[in-house]
């Protein structure tokens, strides 16, 4: 690992992890595969900071890949979890906490009239596309290159040979049959989406998309894209699914659907909704959600769905966000950081583009505005790897891939932003 911080304990611990866990990680996103070297082993988080087992302190811009919008270990979340522990961990029976969570999600998220709790974003999207197919009696699902919706077989897919040819699996272990009804289009390509509906709209069960993409780096919807998806799904009776696992409660209290004023038929949620514990959710129009077992024939279940500890944690988080919305401060703080990074990169003569929505952003080493995966694929990933390692050396912990979003938390301060910009200025000088 090319940094000057001592990572001796991390290195030893990672060797041990790799003996028992594939790649030493429980999720490949953490593996430093895209930046080289080995992951840093973390010991604890506090506010805007992470501390590794070598006692290095980092300013954290991942926030567990999204959940920690208010920083690590906010007192109201930890005390809610501790209180829930007094009554038990899991009952496998309904609890009032689950009703409170469902009621609050229905209040906060415009599209959600009924909601089902699950344990991850993947479970949420997997369930949502099954419900869309069951509700419409159709099979085709439209998704967009560069949007990641979890490791769902039907969505681990690469575009077919022709623009309107259905997809093929993007991972071994996914049978062709799982993706033969998935159509992959370019994000922001209104013409291609319109043509797909003209071509087979009566077969399209649903369209799933990230309303603001985090998984090809941060990419915003171009004017008219979300609105067109909404119009076409309405016209052809298809289910519009906003995957707001990342944007939900992040870019606005009501998510991207509130921020952009486009209401989908279903929404998937994760990350922030659990306050750091494993929670996913899918919900939407009452008539669609009535199709879900036991009220309807579409089966979905989960031993730990609506787990009391996770509900206590998520409820504490959502109640705090509702009572004291951090969004204005987050917008100002994040804009200050993005503007500072832009100026620092400009001054160093580094080609780059920045994209930001609220407190999520990406600095792309690219010469073009990134509007789709085809453009994002042109990123200078070697330069990104050097930037990542240089920032790590300055005690700044960024997502370890150019194709991810950074997250500012409300625990970050102006001083943290200033020191991040100054660290970036040093690193850019070494990249020029
Ligand atoms: P999970 O199954 O990881 O909880 O959620 C899957 C998912 C669904 N939809 C969106 C928009 C997502 O961003 C995600 C997961 N995001 C990745 C980060 N890009 C999680 C990090 C990881 O896989 O370890």
Domain with 40 in it: what CATH number? 3.90.1150.10
399 and 284 within one domain? no
354's CB contacts (< 8 A; 6+ apart) are 338, 341, 342, 361, 362, 363, 364
**Collapsed DSSP state (helix, strand, coil) of residue 122:** helix
- Beta-bridge partner residues of 118: 280
User: How far does the centroid of ligand 1 lie from the alpha carbon of residue 302, in Å?
Assistant: 19
Q: Is the CB of 215 under 6 A from ligand 1?
A: yes
Tell me, yes or no, whether 70 lies in a domain.
no
Of 323, 353, 387, the domain-final residue? 323
Is 148 labeled as catalytic in the residue annotation? Answer: yes
Q: Are residues 91 and 18 part of one domain?
A: no
Domain ranges, residue 126: 75-323
120 lines ligand 1 (CB under 6 A): yes
**How many domains are there within the chain?**
2
- Number of neighbours of residue 234 by Cβ within 10 angstroms: 11
Tell me which of 121, 251, 276 to substitute to probe ligand 1's pocket, judged by most ligand atoms within 8 Å of the beta carbon: 121
Counting from 1 in the atom list of ligand 1, the atom nearest the Cα of 270 is 4
Of 323, 350, 369, the position where a domain reaches its end is 323
Q: Which atom of ligand 1 is nearest to the CA of 280?
A: 4
Residue 382 phi, psi dihedral angles, 5° rounding: -65, -45
Query: DSSP E strands: which ranges in 202-297?
Result: 204-209, 239-243, 266-269, 280-284
Two tokens at 260? 């952009």
Annotated catalytic residue: which of 52, 58, 265, 271? 271
Residue nearest to atom 17 of ligand 1 (CA): 65
- Pure H helices in 210-326: 225-236, 255-260, 286-289, 308-323
Check: CB of residue 303 under 8 Å from CB of residue 117: no
Q: For residue 1, what pLDDT is reported? A: 40
Query: Do 261 and 351 have their domain in common?
Result: no
Q: Is the bond preceding 119 in cis, omega lying within 30 degrees of 0?
A: no
CATH code for position 130: 3.40.640.10
Cα-Cα-Cα-Cα dihedral of 194, 379, 391, 48, to 10°? 0
Domain edge (last residue) among 308, 323, 338: 323
Q: Which residues pair with 281 in a beta bridge?
A: 117, 269
Same domain, 371 and 334: yes
> Are 284 and 213 found together in one domain?
yes
Q: For residues 388 and 414, state if they share a domain.
A: yes
- Kindly state whether residue 3 falls inside one of the protein's structural domains: no
Cβ neighbours, 10 Å, residue 91:
11
> Ligand 1 pocket: which of 26, 221, 246 to mutate (most atoms <8 Å of CB)?
246
Q: Does residue 67 fall inside a structural domain?
A: no
**36 lies in the same domain as 159:** no
How many whole angstroms separate alpha carbon 14 and alpha carbon 424? 27
The DSSP secondary-structure symbol of 35 reads T
- What is the pTM (predicted TM-score) of this model? 0.98
Angle between helices 414-431 and 327-347 (to 10 degrees): 20
Q: Ligand 1: distance of its center to the CA of 270 in Å? A: 8
Instruction: Give the number of the atom of ligand 1 that is nearest the alpha carbon of residue 27.
Output: 24
245 lines ligand 1 (CB under 6 A): yes
Q: Is 51 a catalytic residue?
A: no
Nearest CA residue ID for atom 15, ligand 1: 150
Pull the structure tokens for residue 291.
């199709």
The residue contributing the CA closest to ligand 1 atom 13 is 246
**For residue 262, which of 276, 237, 242, 282 has the smallest C-alpha distance?**
242
The response to whether residue 246 sits with its C-beta less than 6 Å from ligand 1 reads yes
The bridge status of strand 204-209 relative to strand 140-144 is parallel
Q: Are residues 125 and 255 in the same domain?
A: yes
User: For residue 394, is it within any domain?
Assistant: yes
Domain presence at residue 192: yes
- Across-strand partners of 72? 47
Out of 150, 249, 273, 407, mutate this one to test ligand 1's pocket (max ligand atoms within 8 Å of CB): namely 150
Q: Is the CB of 320 under 6 A from ligand 1?
A: no
Cα torsion angle, 101, 30, 215, 348, sign: positive
Q: How far apart are CA 296 and CA 390, in angstroms?
A: 54
Pocket flag, ligand 1, residue 242 (CB < 6 Å): no
Query: For residues 213 and 364, what is the distance between their CA atoms, to the nearest angstrom?
Result: 14
Please tell me if the CB atom of residue 119 comes closer than 6 angstroms to any atom of ligand 1: no
Q: Are residues 251 and 278 in the same domain?
A: yes
401 lines ligand 1 (CB under 6 A): no
CB 202 within 8 A of CB 196: no
The answer as to whether 187 is a domain residue is yes
Question: Is any ligand 1 atom within 6 A of the Cβ of residue 161?
Answer: no
310 and 389 in a single domain? The answer is: no
Which residue is catalytic, options 52, 181, 189, 243?
243
Helix ranges (DSSP H) in 40-95: 75-85
Residue 68 domain flag: no
Each residue's pLDDT tens digit in the chain (432 positions)?
Answer: 445 789 999 999 999 999 999 999 999 999 999 999 999 999 999 999 999 999 999 999 999 999 999 999 999 999 999 999 999 999 999 999 999 999 999 999 999 999 999 999 999 999 999 999 999 999 999 999 999 999 999 999 988 888 788 999 999 999 999 999 999 999 999 999 999 999 999 999 999 999 999 999 999 999 999 999 999 999 999 999 999 999 999 999 999 999 999 999 999 999 999 999 999 999 999 999 999 999 999 999 999 999 999 999 999 999 999 999 999 999 999 999 999 999 999 999 999 999 999 999 999 999 999 999 999 999 999 999 999 999 999 999 999 999 999 999 999 999 999 999 999 999 999 997
Residue 205 shares a structural domain with residue 149: yes
Closest atom of ligand 1 relative to the 244 alpha carbon: 11
Confirm whether 35 is domain-assigned: yes
* 357 lies in the same domain as 249: no
- 282 included as an active-site residue: no
Distance CA 231, CA 338 (A): 33
Please tell me the distance between residue 26's alpha carbon and the centre of ligand 1 in angstroms. 13
Which residue's CA is minimally distant from atom 8 of ligand 1? 149
Residue the block writes with tokens 């298809």 = 238
- For ligand 1, is residue 214 a contact (CB within 6 Å)? yes
Query: Taking a C-beta distance cutoff of 8 angstroms, is the pair 407, 66 a contact?
Result: yes
């Amino acid at each position: 690992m090319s940094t000057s911080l001592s990572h001796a304990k991390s290195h030893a611990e990672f060797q041990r992890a790799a003996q028992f866990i594939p790649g030493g990680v429980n999720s490949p996103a953490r593996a430093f595969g895209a930046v080289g070297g080995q992951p840093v082993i973390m010991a604890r988080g506090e506010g805007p900071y992470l501390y590794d087992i070598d006692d290095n302190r980092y300013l954290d811009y991942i926030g567990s890949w999204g959940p920690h919008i208010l920083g690590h270990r906010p007192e109201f979340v930890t005390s809610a979890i501790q209180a829930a522990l007094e009554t038990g961990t899991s009952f496998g029976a309904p609890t009032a906490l689950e009703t409170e969570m469902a009621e609050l999600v229905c209040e906060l998220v415009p599209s959600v009239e009924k909601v089902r709790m699950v344990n991850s974003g993947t479970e949420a999207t997997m369930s949502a596309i099954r419900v869309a197919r069951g509700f419409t009696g159709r099979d085709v699902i439209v998704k967009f290159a560069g949007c990641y919706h979890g490791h769902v077989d039907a969505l681990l897919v690469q575009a077919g040979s022709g623009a309107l040819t259905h997809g093929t699996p993007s991972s071994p272990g996914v049978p062709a049959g799982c993706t033969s009804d998935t159509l992959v289009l370019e994000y922001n390509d209104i013409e291609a989406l319109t043509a797909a509906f003209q071509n087979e709209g009566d077969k399209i069960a649903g369209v799933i998309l990230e309303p603001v993409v985090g998984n090809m780096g941060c990419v915003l919807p171009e004017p008219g894209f979300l609105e067109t998806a909404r119009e076409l799904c309405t016209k052809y009776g298809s289910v519009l699914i906003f995957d707001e696992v990342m944007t939900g409660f992040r870019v606005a209290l009501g998510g991207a659907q509130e921020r952009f004023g486009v209401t989908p038929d279903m929404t998937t949620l994760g990350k922030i909704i659990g306050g750091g514990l494993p929670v996913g959710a899918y919900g939407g129009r009452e008539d669609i959600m009535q199709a879900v077992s036991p009220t309807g024939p579409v089966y979905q279940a989960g031993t730990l769905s609506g787990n009391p500890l996770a509900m206590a944690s998520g409820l504490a988080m959502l109640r705090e966000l509702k009572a004291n919305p951090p969004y204005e401060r987050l917008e100002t703080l994040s804009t200050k950081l993005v503007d500072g990074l832009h100026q620092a990169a400009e001054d160093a003569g580094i080609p780059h583009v920045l994209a930001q929505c609220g407190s999520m952003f990406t600095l792309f080493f690219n010469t073009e505005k990134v509007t789709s995966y085809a453009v994002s694929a042109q990123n200078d990933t070697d330069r990104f790897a050097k930037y990542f390692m240089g920032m790590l050396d300055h005690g700044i912990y960024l997502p370890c891939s150019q194709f991810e979003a950074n997250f500012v938390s409300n625990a970050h301060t102006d001083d943290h932003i200033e020191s991040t910009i100054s660290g970036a200025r040093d690193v850019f000088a070494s990249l020029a």
